[in-house]
Structure 1
């Protein structure tokens, strides 16, 4: 069993070397002193409590009709992207155009009546100043003028209302987004308040997290949450909101993390991993580019002070920007190669030279 384990380990390392190098024996291998190296060192890193979060859109809207009319055209459907202000549904506008024409005619009539009332008021005022008409006639002329002005204001308001009702026959998108549901069909009669389309905007997203009450003081005090994106990147929320009440069933508080508009790869309804920062601690780290991932093996190429290269399996923790936390397998100050491919070639050449020199091989 011991021999079998040693053979299997050697075979695993050989496969790692072959996969890492991808080069022929004819390639001139780099020497150990030519490798770019870095030291494993301790650094202060956030202490996190991992929780699942759900992505949701900040802008989620169901657009409804604001006037009555028959659905004449549906310009977008589910999964279509719509720019802000684009027409998504058009209602039949024959009746609304007729009302607009009628309101415009009433406005012209009111304008003509006002001109006539002004002329009459000026004529009566001149006669009144010459004491050729009574005071009651002057009062009637002023009343007629005010009445004509009021009729003009009313006609102007009716025209604006008719224009607005006509504009409502073209239902527009309130923001840029994707249509998630269509509520109407061609030929249906829409009334004010009838749902037409639902949609979401992918430009502004947030993550909803159910946080245990024991972690809420840390969230309020530190205000640090890390959102792990599917691409492997980490996003920092622009704003964190803690709901001021707990769920009666789970005793958890809802925490809302608003993401920046530049966050990509997320869609409403997705689950994402989040890290609630509860404090700081010292962790051993190495540069991210030094870590080799092959199947189920995670390793680094360790370069000894005397130039010997060894492939060593390690156990890693979370990735922090450009560094990886090492939980076991390394000690502080050990040197690791930053170019695993070059280190693999050098290790293979080193092993070959030992075989040719008759030196014993490691385990």
Structure 2
């Protein structure tokens, strides 16, 4: 009979053995009884765990935002007679968005053009008269005062032409302004008017958002602000494109601290030639700081994860045998060496880590290294 509060030693040993067996800490050789045949060695590929000094990384989250956006309003009052775009359409700089009724502008342009043509004709006649009187002055057939009078008329006619030309330019601009155009390339986020509505110069007709480039706005705890500066490199990942990394640098640091979140906003401008990144997308950022740290890297295929025990392990070669090392790894995106996993504890660097035939291995298994 067992005394209350005690646990049999044999039961403890069994539980420990079972746990070790789950992690690969088991040996298939040895034991009591007659000598057993030594198992054949398993051929494996192995490579050295790499110890390296890399920049310290600061992780944070944020979202994509537009570098430039505009609520486009007309420059003339009038009634909308036609719309050319729908929300989601891609537009170039100068693409027509809507057209405003332009009957008055067309009539005014015709009037100003007629006035200009008349002014040009008057100028030609006045200049011809001034030239004729200049020649008569040379022969003494007219007085200088008469010549000066016609010369002044020619100059006034020239000024009238300049005034008429300016009036034509204004009328042409008003007619052009009847068509509201996109101020830059981007996409139509909203169109707020329809045909038949009356609009003024304060009425937005469409919202345009530029998508090339875009910027990431990242929330950083205020106490980390001293570690940041413009020009630091960063990588971004987003659930919208799993496994992909977008690279940039810090282009702006907002000095204001949000009183609720106690965070500052860091911005990074990113190229977006295919318009894949859209405003509002969630991003995870890793900022490479000026500080350095020492880490160990092993090939991704060398790490075995046991979800039941929530532990990762690797096999290392020691004296011709495979030995288990329980490790902690950082699998988050942005590793300094693509194809490798960062080991944060369990290895010091230089160990020969096995990366093949892992399903055949156990702690103490005899191994021989392949030369491939």
Post-superposition Cα deviations, 1:312-343, rounded to whole Å, max 9, x if no partner, equal 663212433413211234442233345xxx53
DSSP 3-state at the match of 2:254: strand
Give the Å deviation of 1:136: 2.4
Q: Does 1:64 align with 2:70?
A: no
Counterpart residue number, 1:357: none
Counterpart residue number, 2:327: 314
DSSP 3-state at the match of 1:273: strand
Q: Does 1:219 align with 2:233?
A: no
Give the Å deviation of 1:70: 1.6
Task: Pick from 131, 145, 148 the counterpart of residue 139 of structure 1.
Answer: 148
Q: Whose helix fraction is larger, Structure 1's or Structure 2's?
A: 1
Task: Pick from 28, 48, 55 the counterpart of residue 46 of structure 1.
Answer: 55
User: How many residues are treated as equivalent by the alignment?
Assistant: 328
| Equivalence map 1:79-118=2 (5 Å) | 79-118=88-127
DSSP 3-state at the match of 1:320: coil
Counterpart residue number, 1:185: 194
Q: Does 1:241 align with 2:252?
A: yes
DSSP 3-state at the match of 1:237: strand
Task: Pick from 158, 162, 167 the counterpart of residue 167 of structure 2.
Answer: 158
Q: CA RMSD in A?
A: 3.3
Counterpart residue number, 1:287: 299
DSSP 3-state at the match of 1:146: helix
Moved more, 190-199 or 295-304: 295-304
Give the Å deviation of 1:308: 5.0
8 Å CA contact retained: 1:226, 1:234: yes
- Normalised by the length of structure 1, the TM-score is 0.77
Distance 1:138 1:293, change over 3 A: farther
Matched residues in 2 for 1:260 and 1:289: separation? 33
8 Å CA contact retained: 2:137, 2:144: yes
Moved more, 83-92 or 260-269: 260-269
Distance 1:264 1:301, change over 3 A: farther
Matched residues in 2 for 1:45 and 1:331: separation? 15
DSSP 3-state at the match of 2:357: helix
8 Å CA contact retained: 1:32, 1:309: no
Q: Gapped runs of 5+ residues in structure 2?
A: 1-10, 25-40, 366-372
8 Å CA contact retained: 1:212, 1:252: yes
Matched residues in 2 for 1:290 and 1:165: separation? 71
Distance 1:309 1:70, change over 3 A: farther
Matched residues in 1 for 2:108 and 2:255: separation? 51
Give the Å deviation of 1:116: 0.4
DSSP 3-state at the match of 1:236: strand
8 Å CA contact retained: 1:48, 1:278: no
Query: Which structure is larger by alpha-carbon Rg, 1 or 2?
Result: 2
